[in-house]
Structures are given as structure tokens and as C-alpha cells.
Amino acid sequence: MKPNSVAVLGLQWGDEGKGKVIDYLSGRCDAVARFSGGANAGHTIVVDGQKYILKLLPSGVLREGKICLIGSGVALDPWILKTEIEELAQKGITVDGRLFIDFAAHLVLPLHKVADGYQDSLRGKGALDTTKRGIGPSYADRVSRVGLRMADIFDKEQLEEKIDYVFSRHEECVNKVGDDKLKDRKKLIGKLEELGAQFRPFVADVAAMIMELISSRKKVLFEGAQGMLLDVDLGTYPYVTSSHTTIGGLFSGLGIPPSYVGEVIGITKAYMTRVGHGPFVSEISGDLAEELRESGGEYGSVTGRPRRVGWLDLVALKRAIRANGVDKLAITKLDVLDRFEELYICESYQLKGARTNGIPPNHPDFAKAEPVLTKIAGWGKPTVGINKIDGLPRNARKYIDYISLKTDVPVWLISTGSSRESTIIVEG
């Protein structure tokens, strides 16, 4: 019997609108499990005109009674999580009895954030322009087997021992930065013990919980962070995040086997964006880029940084679909393209005088490729708030159908605005 579960993955450089899609799906699910990333990923959800930006809490937290799970694959900043929980409580949304954090989730410490900026500065012109949220150094400590895990903060003796070792790994950075507050290990341990007292009721064996839920025919929604093109192995390396943002990260980040995933939904914007440095084949610039950026509100939900923008890249999209075994597509921000008379889609690349569609994003040649664009007529009519497929302008429908035809994947959802109601579900 097919598992009663669904995975939602980003197929671009993140910022595809996963938060809204997950929020929509969570109304039909029993639990939502976050499997990767950290507080560098912000999922934006609008409910009754109120905007929520969730950094660590699963997007299903806004649905009353939904179980929210944070897997061991997440880089957990306990201070940010504490703030998120408190801010939601002020708005009448509580997590007591329904939030569970895996005991093996690694922590992001203040020194990781300082190390993030320090290490990037050492690259000079080759800086990656990270979010400075400490994600990379935290994951680096994890794979170096010196990371501090959630379970460690409940054993003072072990905590002191591990903190000393973590500090020894970052000694150069701590000394170079010269922040005396950063060197106060006793104070840090005290703060972590305080956090431990608050988080103790939430700590659990998340993998076992998920397997029990699915075995009981409960519907579980798996939530990814960022997108395929930021995967540390499969993305535009080294301009990537430090985790596995693809389907493989789900299994290692939650501790469950592939047989527990019933369906995979891939999220893509109707165009492309990315934050920070790195190759972007279909990027556009100048006044047109500024118009698209302003129309889509393309600024980072966590950092506020302006996003780079470009036309939809079908070469990269098709590869992401294959790599993740995507069954259905959700296309977001269709309404952002309403004002454009002409649209373009990148269908292949030009490289060294030859046309190709076989350059993977993690290949060095990806940075040298030029887009081969197909012109498509715009629709010049507002689509904002339309929630029926028949309500779309003819050319908007043709644009959606074109994407489905070229990717050979059915489009299941179309987002025409930020609110829950501005959503089209394509039947059949």
C-alpha cells in the first residue's frame, strides 16, 4: 500500500514559495516534518492578511492541532527557535504538546555565526556571500564529529567537555574577532542549560514518531528548505548551502527509508531568482530585472537582500525534477508576470559555440553557459486572486501548459498571490 505521505521540495535556489504550499497541504495532513536547513531559510505564509516568516518551525505550525517535527538534519539555532515560539504565542498560537525536536539535531552556537562571517571574509574576491547565520560552520562541526547536539545540553558534565572541544576548533576565529563575550564559556553553558529546561518537553525520537504515524495511516508532510540548486552536492557548488536540500536529505535528515514517501511535489516559481553570488544562466539585468524584482517583492525573507532575477530555466528545472523523482509541480507567483507583454523561457544553453541541455548545475561549465531563449506571449491581464483554472487568461494557461509539456510533469497547483485563497488546484 502506498504510504500516506507527501514531500515538498524546492526545485530552484530556494525562495520558491514552499511555505505557502506546505501551509495549504498541512490543512489536509496530520503532521509536518522539517528535514534540513537552518534559520537561513525563511518560509513566508500569509493568513488573513497577517504575514508570518518561519525560520525553523515547520510551516504547518499555523494550523491548529497539527503535529510539528524537526529532524536531526536541521541545523538548529535554539535562540531563534525560542524567539519563534514566543512570538507565535503572543499571537495565540502555541506549540505545547505538538512540537517535537529530534534529540540528535545539531545546534548552531553564537561562535558559529561569527565563524561564518570570518571564514567567508578569508575568501576575498571569492566570498560566497553567506547569510552569516552560522549554518556552514555548524554542519562542518557535525561532519567533523565535534558538533553539539540537542541531547547534549541535558548533561552538564558532557556539555562542558564538548563546549571546550568546539571552542578549540574555532580558536583562531574567536581570537581574531576579539569579542570577549564570545569567549565566556561559562555564560554560554548557563544559557544552554536554560534553553534545555524550556526545550526538554519537546525532545523526542522523531524518526520513530514518523514511522509510527505513517504505519497508522496518518498523513505526514515532509518539508524541505532551500532548493535543488543549493544542494551541497548537486547544486551550483561552491555557491550552495551546506546541507542536502534534495530528496536524499529527507531520508538522512529524518532517519526514514524511501518506502515511507508516497508522493513528491516540486515547487518552482514561474520565473527564477537567487540570492548571493554564483552562476545564473537565465539571469536578466537592468530596468527589466528591476521591474520583475519589484513586481515579485524579491527580497530575502530572512536577510532582506535583493534577489537576482531571471527567466524560467527549463534545463535546470528538468534536471531537478529527475533528481528528486517529482510526481507533480506547483508553480508559484504566476501573478508576478501579469504586467509583462513578452516572456521568455530558457530551453537550452549555448556553450563554446554549440547548443546543449546536458550541463549539470554542479559542473564547472555551468558558469560559462549562455541561455537560448524562447519568446512566449504574455497575457497582460491580472491573475491575482484567481482560484479556478478556467479563470486564467488564455495565454497564462498556455504558459502553464507549456511548462508541463516540456517537463513531462503535470501541474497540480498554481499560486496567484500570497494569501491561502489565491490558489488554483488543477484537477485530473
Residue 88 sits at φ, ψ, to 5 deg, of: -70, -35
Does an H or E element contain 8, and which?
strand 5-10
Q: What is the mean pLDDT of the chain?
A: 92
**Same domain (yes/no): 175, 214:** no
pLDDT in tens, 270-307: 999 999 899 999 999 999 999 999 999 998 766 677 89
Lowest mean pLDDT among 49-53, 322-326, 410-414, 419-423: 49-53
Whether 246 and 345 map to the same domain: the answer is no
Residues 161 and 19 in one domain: no
pLDDT digits (tens, 9 = 90+) for 342-384: 999 999 999 999 999 989 999 999 999 999 999 999 999 999 9
Name the nearest CA neighbour of 361 among 258, 263, 301, 272.
272
Quickly tell me which residue has 521568455 as its cell. 344
Catalytic residue from among 15, 30, 141, 335: 15
Q: How confident is the model at residue 45 (pLDDT cuts 50, 70, 90)?
A: confident
95-109: string of b/e by CB count within 10 Å (b at 16+)? beebbbbbebbbbbb
Positive or negative, the CA dihedral 281, 286, 292, 296 is: positive
- Examine the domain organization and report whether 91 and 214 are in the same domain: yes
What's the Cα-to-Cα distance from 284 to each of 34, 158, 220, 289, 292, rounded to whole Å?
33, 52, 39, 6, 9
**Residue 303 has what pLDDT?**
66
Structural domain of residue 175, as residue ranges?
Answer: 106-199
Please identify, among 147, 175, 199, the residue that sits at the C-terminal boundary of a domain: 199
Residue 106 is among the residues annotated as catalytic for this protein: no
Q: Is 344 exposed, middle or buried (0-12, 13-18, 19+ CB in 10 A)?
A: middle
Longest dimension (CA), the chain: 67
Polymer length in residues for the chain: 428
Q: What is the pLDDT of residue 395?
A: 97
Q: Are residues 302 and 409 in the same domain?
A: yes
Assign 206 to helix, strand or coil: helix
The CATH number for 131's domain is 1.10.300.10
Residue 182 CA to residue 68 CA, distance in Å, equals 32
- In a 10 Å sphere around its CB, with 0-12 CB exposed, 13-18 middle and 19+ buried, how is residue 418 labelled? buried
Question: Does residue 41 carry a pLDDT above 70?
Answer: no
| Residue 363 a catalytic site member | no
| Residue 35's pLDDT band (cuts 50, 70, 90) | very high
CATH of residue 67? 3.40.440.10
390, 406 Cβ separation under 8 angstroms:
no
Residues 416, 309 share a domain = yes
Q: Dihedral, CA atoms, 99, 101, 102, 107, nearest 10 degrees?
A: 170
Residue 218 clears pLDDT 90, i.e. is over it: yes
CATH number, domain at 392? 3.90.170.10
C-alpha cell of residue 249: 536529505
Q: What angle do CA 37, 42, 47 make, to 5 degrees?
A: 135
Contact 31, 217 (CB under 8 A): no
Whether the pLDDT of residue 220 is over 90: the answer is yes
| 173 pLDDT tier (thresholds 50, 70, 90) | confident
On whether both 127 and 112 belong to a single domain, the answer is: yes
- pLDDT score recorded for residue 142: 93
Catalytic residue among 23, 43, 102, 112: 43
Q: Are residues 226 and 129 in the same domain?
A: no
- Indicate if 174 and 133 belong to the same structural domain: yes
- For the stretch 163-172, contacts whose Cβ atoms lie closer than 8 Å and that sit 24 or more positions apart, written own/partner, are 163/188, 163/189, 166/109, 166/111, 166/141, 167/111, 169/141, 169/144, 170/111, 170/112, 170/115, 170/137
Instruction: Determine contact, residues 41/225, Cβ cutoff 8 Å.
Output: yes
Give tens-digit pLDDT for 239-249.
999 999 999 99
Which of 18-27, 182-191, 209-218 ranks highest by mean pLDDT? 209-218
Burial of 151 (0-12, 13-18, 19+ CB in 10 A): middle
Is the pLDDT assigned to residue 428 strictly greater than 70?
no
Among 166, 181, 199, the domain boundary falls at 199
Q: Do 195 and 216 fall within a single domain?
A: no
**pLDDT confidence of residue 387:** 95
Percent pLDDT > 90 in the chain is 72
What confidence score (pLDDT) does residue 178 get?
A: 63
pLDDT tens digits for range 314-338: 999 999 999 999 999 999 999 999 9
Q: Is the pTM of this model over 0.75?
A: yes
**Number of domain units in the chain:** 3
- What is the predicted pLDDT for the residue at 78? 96
Q: Please identify, among 199, 223, 250, the residue that sits at the C-terminal boundary of a domain.
A: 199
Q: Are residues 52 and 110 in the same domain?
A: no
Q: Is there a single domain that holds both residue 247 and residue 100?
A: yes
Please, what sign has the CA dihedral across residues 243, 247, 250, 255? negative
pLDDT for residue 170: 83
